[in-house]
A and B are shown apart, each in its own frame.
Chain A
Amino acid sequence: KAGVTQTPRYLIKTRGQQVTLSCSPISGHRSVSWYQQTPGQGLQFLFEYFSETQRNKGNFPGRFSGRQFSNSRSEMNVSTLELGDSALYLCASSFGGIQVSSYEQYFGPGTRLTVT
């Protein structure tokens, strides 16, 4: 079974630009979560989508947004990029149901975003 894929793997952008990151979950998984990882901060939760609906949102500004398509693929958009947005952005998928095993999330390799 193919794992979670993320594109692109690396990205360099300039302050003020916007960026769109893509995530394809494991087949059959309907939940997609996004995390930001920076040195010293661990994994910070951005948002989670299930069946095209945002179910949870972390404490990030409105410049960070996302969406999920009918095939469960998800995109994350960051507008008006700031230097502090430089990070590894990780996508994770899971079944997303009510069973506790649904909380076992499977991560993609991440997109390394550098803002200059």
Chain B
Amino acid sequence: DQQVKQNSPSLSVQEGRISILNCDYTNSMFDYFLWYKKYPAEGPTFLISISSIKDKNEDGRFTVFLNKSAKHLSLHIVPSQPGDSAVYFCAAVNSGGSNYKLTFGKGTLLTVNP
């Protein structure tokens, strides 16, 4: 049972345009969400996070939007650059109780074309 889903295995955009990566979750107990970027032969790198008490968090070119009622979050990259080409993972956590486990989606491969 996949609790975090990234339904687009890949996405291709032109340099300078907006990249929008989507993520859906099914577990209503998730209250903290993170995005990671992964280059080949490297471990995932933390990008940005958002708590369920917010609906938007911004960090430079990266903005994450959270729609709790739809159990949906998205990562916007503006403007996209060739160096952004990587696999992007969405992750969720239930910060209550004693569960410290991150649940990851399967990732979306973003290709930014020059």
- List of B residues within 8 angstroms of A68 by Cβ: none
Q: How large is the interface on A (under 10, 10 to 19, 20 to 34, 35 or more residues)?
A: 20 to 34
A99 to B91, CA, bound (A): 17
| Contact yes or no, A33 B102, CB < 8 A | yes
Residues of B within 8 A of A35 (CB): 104
Interface size class of B (residues with CB under 8 A): 20 to 34
B13 an interface residue at 8 Å Cβ cutoff?
Answer: no
**A-B residue pair count with CB separations less than 8 angstroms:** 64
Question: In the bound complex, do residue B99 and residue A56 qualify as a contact, i.e. CB atoms below 8 Å apart?
Answer: yes
Contact status of A103 and B41, CB under 8 A, knowing A42-B107, A43-B89, A56-B101: no
Could you give 12 example pairs across A and B, Cβ below 8 Å? Answer: A33-B101, A33-B102, A43-B89, A45-B103, A56-B98, A90-B43, A92-B43, A104-B34, A106-B46, A107-B36, A107-B44, A109-B43
Q: Which of A's residues lie within 8 Å of B, judged by CB?
A: 4, 31, 33, 35, 40-43, 45, 48, 50, 55-56, 58, 90, 92, 96, 100-101, 103-110
